[in-house]
Amino acid sequence: MGRPIAKTMLTDLEKAYISGFLDGDGCIMFQLVRRKDYIFGYQVRASIVFYQKTINKQILVWLKSKLKYGYIRDRKDKMTEYTIVGKNYVIEILYILYPYLRLKRKHAKVAFKIGKIWPKKFGQKNLLAIGKLVDQFKELNYSKKRKNTSLTVKEFFAKGPRND
């Protein structure tokens, strides 16, 4: 998983600043992603993304130096994203930032629920249970395009054995 971010590595001021940045120019996402190479057909992807105009990319470089994980990508629309992917990384960062979050506090609470029931090995039952929690991110993030939901996964399972 990489080297964990010790709570003491960030000052309280840095935690507050990063939390405010996440509240305003960031996103916490848990998604069900269709994966033909997965036995249950879907992956649960956790991510935190910070957005900024490319002319202000340096602040994202600073964030990455503090949070340690993830990657920075310049988009063609003159925006830059700093993305952290992985349930363990996302949960760790949210625990550190939680006391300072305001707008994304509900997101973090749902993420913590997902983290608590995340199994060592997925089965249909726990994938559906996590999927129902993941569904809450559609409303929290005002998602219009989200097409994979717990219902989609349930319908996939109802079709019987995989043959794709």
Q: Where are the alpha helices (DSSP H) in the chain?
A: 12-25, 57-67, 87-97, 105-117, 124-140, 150-158
Structure tokens at 94: 């949210």
Residues 6+ apart with CB under 8 A from 131: 32, 42, 44, 149, 150, 153, 154
pLDDT per residue as tens digits for the range 55-98:
999 999 999 999 999 999 999 999 999 999 999 999 999 999 99
- Kindly state the average pLDDT of the residues 123-152: 91
Structural domains in the chain?
7-157 (3.10.28.10)
pLDDT per residue as tens digits for the range 19-62:
999 999 999 999 999 999 888 899 999 999 999 999 999 999 99
